[in-house]
Copies of this chain bind each other. A is one copy, B any other.
Amino acid sequence: MTRLSNDWRRTHYTKDVDESLTGENITVMGWIHEIRDLGGIIFVLIRDRDGMIQLTAPSKEIDDELLEQIRKLRKESVIGLKGTVQESGKAPNGAEIIPSEIKVFSLANQPLPMDPTEKVKAEIDTRLDSRFIDLRKPSVSAIFKIKSKMLHTVRTFFEENGYLEVNTPKLVASATEGGTELFPITYFEKEAFLGQSPQLYKQMMMSAGFDKVYEIAQIFRAEEHDTLRHLNEAISIDMEASFMDDVDVMKVLNDLVQEVIINVKNDCKEELKTLEVDLATPEGHFEIVNYDDAVDMINSRNVPMEWGEDLSRAAEKVLGDMMDGYYFLTEWPTEIKPFYVMPNEKNPIKSHAFDLMYKDLEISSGAMRVHQHDLLREKIAEKGLNPDAFGGYLKAFEYGMPPHSGWGLGADRFNMTLTGLENIRETVLFPRDRRRLTP
């Protein structure tokens, strides 16, 4: 076939077919989910993105040619179905379709590389190898419907609050924040790197007077980690705002997370049910634990941790045990945070940096930033980096830079908190890790 003929156009999605359409001639499109041939009657479940409908073919009422065509259908083939809606107490939607015509768009080979009906649980690697089939399972597509809803809510939130969307470059000339976690690229005759975060660019937008900006885009980290919480390519939700401090942007983050949860609960009821997730709506402000207290709490559980250290995995776990849901970790030691984090004026070994945690999972990091050129230059040097390599960035601080704050929220990790999933690979369509680059 080439162009779709006008008489083979979908009139209804399966979720919209119910008894109110009884007697109507409709056309649906979808995948063969199941076939039960009882001899005198054939039942075929047809699945599309948001539901299923039953084709019911009683052999006495259907002409032989069509019956033969139905008998030849293979699971997961794609068909168009024309027929009449009939009320049915037994069918899933309270309605079924008595077929009048069928068109096979694509026959599925047999056997399938994996079972899409959820009867057999597959390992994550098998699932990812045949991701196009894995995603046909309602319990898998639900994850991405929730993710799409989450991203849309985030953008609407920012738009309604006066943020401008920006697109900052992912090809960068030098290691933006120091560290060795960068993928090198051959950029014509030069070397370049993939951006590990839009941090320096969104700060430059503050100097440009853009006031409040956001970006949702890929970030790339050449981390060797092989954990359930890390990927080498991820989606980061980033914001930055002028004339705001860390407390202000924590409030923005708090409000945003709550709005996402409310919207997902309202608009993704089916998906949450499929995933068996009972999402709690956090009320008011998330709890705030400062770093000093966190160290004490962690030590109290016999996990050794010195003041000034980052949280070990064991430390995150016991803290996550003691705290429920979302909470902020604040007043981090300046030394273990990046150079652009504002130190506390009275006690500069502490900083205005914060993380947003969900149980034992860090989902966001933010801070009030250093906006004073000389202090920033000094702090870059203190980290053992060469300030001259940050020329284009530092220049933006010399000609009028407002105080500003911001955060980055890992979209995939945030989605883990909404879907109750433990492995970040499940929340990404085509995850990229140390071992996986395909499909």
Given contacts A243-B9, A368-B3, A165 and B185 within 8 Å (CB-CB) = no
Question: How many chain-A residues does the 8 Å CB contact rule pick out?
Answer: 112
Task: Scan residues 195-237 of chain A and give those whose CB is less than 8 A from a CB of chain B.
Answer: 201, 204-205, 207-211, 217-218, 220, 222, 224, 232-233, 235
Which of chain B's residues have a CB closer than 8 A to the CB of A252?
Answer: none
B187, A437: Cβ atoms closer than 8 Å = yes
Which of chain B's residues have a CB closer than 8 A to the CB of A429?
Answer: 166-169, 201, 205
Given contacts A186-B183, A218-B217, A31 and B112 within 8 Å (CB-CB) = no
Q: A76: CB under 8 A from chain B?
A: yes
Q: How many copies of this chain sit in the oligomeric assembly?
A: 2
A133, B399: Cβ atoms closer than 8 Å = yes
Question: How far, in angstroms, from A392 to B248 measured CA to CA in the complex?
Answer: 46
Binary B-proximity of A389-420 (CB < 8 A = 1, otherwise 0): 00011011111111100000001000000000
Which of chain B's residues have a CB closer than 8 A to the CB of A218?
Answer: 167, 170, 217-218
Q: Which of A147-155, A280-288, A301-309, A320-328 contacts B (4 or more CB under 8 A)?
A: A147-155
Q: A43: CB under 8 A from chain B?
A: no
Given contacts A49-B209, A209-B49, A437-B190, A371 and B401 within 8 Å (CB-CB) = no
Which of chain B's residues have a CB closer than 8 A to the CB of A30?
Answer: 209
Q: A106: CB under 8 A from chain B?
A: yes
Binary B-proximity of A158-194 (CB < 8 A = 1, otherwise 0): 0100001111111111000000000111111010101
Given contacts A3-B246, A31-B400, A209 and B345 within 8 Å (CB-CB) = no
Q: A122: CB under 8 A from chain B?
A: no
Which of chain B's residues have a CB closer than 8 A to the CB of A100?
Answer: none
Would you list 5 pairs from A and B whose C-beta atoms are within 8 A, ordered by A residue?
A: A3-B247, A106-B400, A152-B155, A201-B429, A392-B438
